Amino acid sequence: MLFNNLFYFAADDEGFSPEQDEEFLDEGALIVMEDTETGEEYSFEMVDQFEFDDNIYCVLLTVTEDEDDENYGEWVITRIVEEENGEICLMSLDEDENDRVYDEYDRLLEEYAETDEEYEDDEND
């Protein structure tokens, strides 16, 4: 699944406002996004966030119960942006940014794993 479009948060609750409720970006939050070109909706779970090059990125895991779905277990990184009208949305990454951001996230995961191993070693000593 490759996203080349801008995705907007969709909310079931009519009173939902990202500007008022920042918990919509908490880890574990379920997010439904709509492809602005096709109208197709996608469901994701927020699994992580990180800052890189003065931007905040969200790591999203596709939510589907069908293990045969081609998107099952796939994760996507998007950038949080605020539009001119103040609306918060997630922007897909262009090719250049995509490579840099995924490389940075891989580096962060490796760093975390090393730190975790060191912590476990310290506990066992």
pLDDT tens across 57-107, in order?
A: 999 998 877 777 776 778 899 998 888 888 878 888 988 899 999 999 999
Listed residue (106, 34, 52, 44) closest to 75, CA to CA:
44
Alpha carbon distance 64, 43 (integer Å): 8
Alpha carbon distance 90, 18 (integer Å): 12
Q: What is the model's pLDDT at position 33?
A: 78
**What is the reported pTM?**
0.68
Q: What is the model's pLDDT at position 13?
A: 42
Domain ranges of the chain: 6-93
* 24: confidence class by pLDDT, cuts 50, 70, 90: low
pLDDT tens digits along 30-64: 888 777 788 888 888 889 999 999 999 999 998 87
Q: What is the model's pLDDT at position 15?
A: 44
Alpha carbon distances (Å) from 40 to 10, 26, 34, 49: 12, 24, 6, 24
- Classify each residue of 62-88 as buried b or exposed e, where b means 16 or more C-beta atoms within 10 Å of its C-beta: bebeeeeeeeeeeebbbbeeeeeeeeb
